[in-house]
Amino acid sequence: MSGPLKVGLVSASDRAAGGVYRDEGIPALKDWLSKVVASPALHFEERLIPDEQAVIERTLKDLIDENGCHLVLTTGGTGPAPRDVTPEATLAVADKVMPGFGEQMRAVSLKFVPTAILSRQVAVIRGKALIINLPGQPKAIKETLDGVFAAVPYCIDLIGGPYIETDEALVKAFRPKSALKGKP
């Protein structure tokens, strides 16, 4: 039996990191994942950091290279404002860019708000981990994860991570038939 799914959660926000306001992104991510992921057990690594590109890059590298995270979700910092640098930091540590996640997250959000096209969210592979940028607002986090998570378990399979099973009433993980043969 494999070990836990190690999930890094990163909120890049000067105000939240400085205690000016309470971060709502990380609690929303934990809540969503705890409901949807049926197995293996979840182990969270949380980081509340200022939205500086170098700090975000260092945090992403540390979570994957040192802490062995299989999945890293960031929250916030993906808009057009000068302090929104999460996508740049994510691309800077990428081995492979996964353009389909950003496209689909924007397409999903666009059903709710026309300003979804302002989001610059990306997803990338670094080593054996998938990094996905998510919005800052709990409502938008849920909408976005609902829209793309079905593809995450198979992606984690392909890069060598643990076999994720979901509560199918919430999100039905999809794997091609050939992959199902290899199910542990």
Nearer to its own copies, 47 or 143 (CB): 143
Stretch that binds its own copies, among 11-19, 29-37, 59-67, 81-89 (CB under 8 A): 81-89
| 116 interacts with its own copies by CB under 8 A | yes
Our finding on whether 148 is near its own copies (CB under 8 A) is yes
Output the DSSP codes for the chain: ----EEEEEEEE-HHHHTTSS---HHHHHHHHHHHHEEES-EEEEEEEE-S-HHHHHHHHHIIIIIT--SEEEEES--SSSTT--HHHHHHHT-SEE-HHHHHHHHHHHHTT-GGGGG----EEEETTEEEEEE-SSHHHHHHHHHHHGGGHHHHHHHTT----EE-TTT------HHHHHT--
Q: Note whether 155 binds its own copies by CB under 8 A.
A: yes
Among positions 151, 162, 163, 164, the unique one binding its own copies when judged by CB under 8 A: 151
Contact with its own copies (CB under 8 A) among 79, 92, 94, 142: 79
Member of 38, 41, 54, 117 binding its own copies (CB under 8 A): 117
- Residue selected from 39, 53, 67, 104 as contacting its own copies according to rule CB under 8 A: 104
Pick between residue 67 and residue 137 the one whose CB is nearest to its own copies: 137
Q: Is 57 in the site for its own copies (CB under 8 A)?
A: no
CB 150 within 8 A of CB 172: yes
Binding site for its own copies (CB under 8 A): 79-82, 84, 88, 96-104, 106-107, 110, 113-120, 125, 130, 148, 150-151, 154-155, 158-159, 174-176
